[in-house]
Chain A
């Protein structure tokens, strides 16, 4: 493994100062479960400084606020899985967090790390997208809050020149009677990267969809909601036919964004079935 400096700042201000001082060749360690393998495999040759924020108290904590649930960026998946607060109204995130890595990984890995790494297969992101998560970012210019979608877009397209630290997440209070589910398809029961995942949240009244969010994982360049599918479904009376049409549309939207990939021979038919099944469930639960 390459050599690097390992810095542990004692405040957020110092963290930001270090980030700007070493801009371009530093990485923030939020948990390290993605970072360390990347270093070991030589995928981060330009990185010579690691800034460890795992013990920053400012990044810890799960609490209800006026606008929703606040989750510090340094919250581990174990903390999320064990949190009664998160389970109370945002259980979709618990479902997804439970399936991150294995127990040892969940003890170390954090929500901010998972999101900032922005892997197309990240387990937490589809759930966070369906929960309409907002991301709180800190830089020398101050704090700003953006929708997770926008954060991911900026991140993966390299549009954001700011050196920002991911402070935490705000999950708005879910709308009444929200139904939500997360499914992960992997080759084994634990310590498995998602081959495919799907989060759906929504609500149907008398079989008619009020609103629905659909976010697949591991099929797009970065996780996003399938807005065309959502628009198509909104206001629709759920039927087997509509579910099927939505599934076809989902596959189409993914193909349009990702292009044809060899793995899609397997993934897209499964994704269509999952979309159908999860929409059917939404119908049945009403």
Chain B
């Protein structure tokens, strides 16, 4: 399979540099837009003065919050702050100028007076009784709607029945998406006065909402056209909505096209980050290892504004206990506001943090019980027919144990574990091997309707256009969709063009998140293919004078199964269908059935299907410097049926790299609330030289709810990696309960 899956719809364009990103667009007459940011952690705006800035030659327009034509905010995020700024990235003025130089010169001339207000600099501070109140509507600093409880069984009895109770606290840090392409948009008006936004956006329909909020335009007068996107990972959401809204108001105020691109520093300062978490877990088990009770408080840092934690924390509550059967559970997840950049979606959507905490806990519990990590897990793994902590009976194949055993086997885990146990603890380099197993609810589940659409149209010459409502941001979704079409119609991928999302052309199909692009996004594609296929077979049957049921499609032909020499080329059939008046352009919509969820108890049907993953990590620690290196990663994923092996393997390798970064080095640094690591000289991500030997395997499985049997994969590839690395470090003698595992922390453990 993998050999044939080496093509990608956008490979040539991307490799040769032909692919056009938003920053590559130059519209005649365009102005350059810039944002003037507060640079304050928390302050009252006393005055803003643009008098001198306006005098700079080439400056066309300067806008303050009072000049905004409609709303000053989009959901909770301000396009321009008014009265008060809550973090350094808050915009207080916009500039449009004839050139970048003039715009920057104007920024340098802006004058502001701020009165500093007491800041909230960590989630712990936010929870203090005397903490400053950041949003008057939320005097306890909790993010609106972010609390998601789970109540199952009787937690008190569960602990009473336990022979051993273990309590642990774990923490994670702010992680930057670090996509290679910073945010960029170009906005212009169409001849009918509507707006066209070309942008680097993960969710064009949400960008459209942001522009509508900023301009007061109805949605049908805002057209967002996605350009090639150089990575997003959940990040090009809030920041791009704000950017597009700002560029749009500048465009309308000046009557000129406006281009805005962020520098890396601006991108790091304003774009959302992986929410840092503080986990407080209490677990109870029988002496033999059976899990009896789990109590947990998961607090994440939402930052200055937040509209994600309410969704993310729902997913968090579902996954908080991992892939285990536990009869008595009490979980509370909630987010708090601080004066830091906001938390947002990032590949895994809380799972990488949770799995780190919860799988570290499992290893610690195993050690406390005197059990092997595998033995404890095997005793408690969820199995088919089991009930999850959120009260869902699992009817589909549950492959937690299978992926684990296969991954451990591939990694030669048992032998290596023994070898590491026998290693001389006094040598400078010590090693360890560890693993983590997890599951991931596929798609949006009970969070939101997982509905989406697609348009498939076959042209009279037999070429094909695929338009999904979901986006390709580098993950290869257009390729996966083209693959589904090619496979079902028996045509070569070369016939197919996949178009990026244009909000005026495709039905709004929700966000491209939750690893739903293939899992759900493939469904309307397959529905459309089925309809087209029916028409083509009907037409071909007439021509070949047989019944449609006797025909098959393969090798770009339609032929009689009994006698393949009786055939028509795909193009011939397409042409005949078109000229006989058939529609070969089909719009389809997938609407999932409703899922039950009871918020007060956290019980219901969370997700129709789950992806199961296990990652095994090997590490080496320099005892002298405290530096940890991941030397090998092995992962096995049950993602159902993989649609495109090439794109899927890209996801696995990328997920591993991201996981290594989160485990060992990534975390934003702040000084009194201001980010000090605003570029990649200070914010370190792994280089190619830091990426370990990588081995992976897909465990094929059937009987799930995904398109063509495909379950979620993109996010599943990263989420167990930090946990596996943490457990490998622990096996080497370094149990760290805070990520990233910096040399300083390791050395402290060594000396302590």
Contact = CB atoms under 8 A, between A and B. Distances in A.
Interface string B717-752: 000000000000000000000000011100100010
Contact of B689 (A187, A189, A269): A189
Contacts of A192: 684
B624 A274 contact: yes
Interface string B634-678: 000000000000000000000000000000010000000000000
Interface in A92-145: 102
A108 B270 CA distance: 32
A185 B681 contact: no
B66 to A, nearest CB: 31
Nearest to A192: B684
Given A37-B681, A269-B751, A270-B626, A102 B743 contact: no
B751 A185 contact: no
Interface string B408-438: 0000000000000000000010000000000
A266 interface: yes
A37 B682 CA distance: 13
A190 interface: yes
A277 B428 contact: yes
A270 B624 contact: yes
Contact of A270 (B625, B681, B742): B625
B689 A188 contact: yes
B686 interface: yes
Contacts of B627: 185, 187
A167 to B, nearest CB: 30
A195 B744 CA distance: 11
A208 B84 CA distance: 69
Nearest to B265: A41
A188 B625 contact: no
A189 B622 CA distance: 13
24 contacts: A185-B625, A185-B627, A185-B743, A187-B742, A188-B689, A188-B690, A189-B687, A189-B690, A190-B687, A190-B690, A191-B687, A195-B743, A265-B744, A266-B626, A266-B744, A266-B747, A269-B747, A269-B751, A270-B624, A270-B625, A270-B747, A273-B625, A277-B428, A277-B624
Contacts of B688: 190
A193 interface: yes
A193 B689 CA distance: 15
A187 B625 CA distance: 10
B686 A188 contact: yes
Contacts of A265: 744
Interface string A10-54: 000000000000000000000000000100000000000000000
A284 to B, nearest CB: 14
B687 A188 contact: yes
B687 A273 contact: no
A124 to B, nearest CB: 19
A281 to B, nearest CB: 11
A191 B683 CA distance: 12
Contacts of B624: 270, 273-274, 277
Interface of B: 428, 624-627, 629, 665, 681, 684, 686-690, 742-744, 747, 751
Nearest to B624: A273
A148 to B, nearest CB: 26
Instruction: List the 7 closest pairs (A to B, CB-CB), nearest first.
Output: A189-B689, A190-B689, A190-B687, A273-B624, A266-B744, A189-B690, A185-B625
A265 B665 CA distance: 19
A266 B746 CA distance: 10
Interface residues of A, number: 19
Nearest to A189: B689
Nearest to B742: A187
B743 A188 contact: no
B749 to A, nearest CB: 13
A188 B624 CA distance: 16
Contacts of B744: 265-266
Contact of A187 (B428, B665, B747, B751): B665
B687 A266 contact: no
Interface string A183-210: 0010111111101100000000000000
Contacts of B626: 266, 270
Contacts of A188: 665, 684, 686-687, 689-690
Contacts of A191: 687
B747 A193 contact: no
Contacts of B681: 37, 193
Interface in A239-286: 265-266, 269-270, 273-274, 277
A118 B734 CA distance: 37
A188 B740 CA distance: 13
Nearest to A196: B625
B430 to A, nearest CB: 15
Nearest to B665: A187
Contacts of A269: 747, 751
A270 B625 CA distance: 6
A47 B76 CA distance: 43
B389 to A, nearest CB: 38
Contacts of B742: 187
- Interface hub of B428, B627, B629 (most chain A Cβ within 10 A): B627
A270 to B, nearest CB: 5
Contacts of A189: 629, 687, 689-690
Given A274-B624, A277-B624, A187 B743 contact: yes
Contacts of A196: 625
Contacts of B686: 188
A184 to B, nearest CB: 10
Nearest to A263: B744
Contacts of B751: 269
A193 B681 CA distance: 8
Q: Which of A37, A102, A269 has the most CB of B within 10 A?
A: A269
Nearest to A3: B101
A270 B622 CA distance: 11
A10 B744 CA distance: 50
A191 B685 CA distance: 10
B692 to A, nearest CB: 11
A110 B627 CA distance: 28
A146 to B, nearest CB: 31
A102 B690 CA distance: 12
A270 B626 CA distance: 9
A191 B681 CA distance: 8
Choose among B428, B684, B686, B742 the residue with the greatest number of A CB atoms under 10 Å from its CB: B684
A57 B656 CA distance: 46
A177 B747 CA distance: 35
A191 B743 CA distance: 17
Nearest to B627: A185
Contact of A102 (B629, B665, B687): B687
